Structure 1
């Protein structure tokens, strides 16, 4: 059984960029994460380190502190990365506040995702979703929509809603307005997704099925 991460290594993982998985830490910390299969060193300059899928999964799991970590220590450093960015999927009961700060966050997250595509797609393509998006379908589709300026739905009201589906490689996008729904389809297609418009059998409401394009 592998040894648990040290507190310092855990902080490096938790402080990783939530979209790209870019890591910051000492060379020893980064090398230790690579050895555990939780990070990889990018082959192109500047040879930054990024979380692997296993590292992303670990980052999203709650940490289980050891007895020593659970006890307060005057030397302990404050945990890094307190605020974790999440794209709005629509319908949140307590959505993040709108405004210039949120706009900057969304823009930064989208640019980070494009960079992740460039670094991890075999042909460095930025017009096609990458592995991270294929394992985080709802968050990836929502980021593409929010970054393009589509309004997410509030707890009750108009706007897009992105939801998981029984299909492992597709999400559903709902919009009360047909034109807005088709605008969402156009945005996702420009972002490298393939979409199809469907009708709910019971309500007759139109919705999109969207999945990441592979070629």
Structure 2
């Protein structure tokens, strides 16, 4: 049975970049995480270290302060739509979203086997809602919130698939085009019970 990371190693994991998984720590700490399969050393200069999917799972399982909203923790979170306490919109938020999207493209370049940036990487496949929401928000789509209509990204029982809802057919089609440009496959479906139209989107593999 694999031993859990030490408190010092867990702190390194917790401090990883929330989007790219880039790690900061001593050489000994990083080497220990690599040995445990929780991190990998990128083969290209500057040979930074990044969380593996197993490392990301540990990071995501770390409980945060329950009473604090996500925007006060300093961690970036893409808007999936319908949040009770969404981040404040404006130029600062736009810069955060742009930076997160550029970081995700860099993560694709570094972790996809062929360095491709036109299709999702392993991190996106284990964080489907967050990845799809980031692609939509980075493209300028408006998430639902309060009394405003917009997209909503939701998890589904299907493996590697999310559902995207929009207030009208035009917005739904626009969301589908954005996700396809971001390397996702998206098709429109109708819920049998409510007759609501939605997208079923999954990361493209090739």
Q: What TM-score comes out, normalization by structure 2 length?
A: 0.91
Which among 69, 74, 89 is matched to residue 98 of structure 1?
89
Tell me if structure 1 keeps the 8 A contact 2:172–2:198. Answer: yes
Shift of 1:82: 4.2
In the aligned structure 1, how far is the partner of 2:162 from the partner of 2:185?
11
Unpaired runs of 5+ in structure 2? 64-71
Shift of 1:209: 0.7
Could you tell me which residue of structure 1 aligns to residue 17 of structure 2? 17
Q: How does 1:136-147 map to 2 (within 5 A)?
A: 136-147=127-138
Could you tell me which residue of structure 2 aligns to residue 176 of structure 1? 167
Moved more, 151-160 or 11-20: 151-160
Work out whether 1:86 is the aligned partner of 2:77: yes
Shift of 1:87: 0.6
In the aligned structure 1, how far is the partner of 2:87 from the partner of 2:3?
37
Distance 1:32 1:173, change over 3 A: same
Work out whether 1:128 is the aligned partner of 2:123: no
Could you tell me which residue of structure 1 aligns to residue 103 of structure 2? 112
Which among 189, 195, 204 is matched to residue 198 of structure 1?
189
Moved more, 139-148 or 96-105: 96-105
Tell me if structure 1 keeps the 8 A contact 2:14–2:62. Answer: no
The RMSD of aligned alpha carbons is 1.6
Tell me if structure 1 keeps the 8 A contact 2:81–2:151. Answer: yes
What secondary structure is seen at the aligned counterpart in 2 of 1:198?
strand
Unpaired runs of 5+ in structure 1? 64-80
Q: Paired residues, what number?
A: 198
In the aligned structure 2, how far is the partner of 1:155 from the partner of 1:95?
9
Deviation track 1:44-97 (CA, whole Å, cap 9, x = no partner) reads 11100000111111111236xxxxxxxxxxxxxxxxx94221111001111111
Work out whether 1:166 is the aligned partner of 2:157: yes
Tell me if structure 1 keeps the 8 A contact 2:41–2:48. Answer: yes
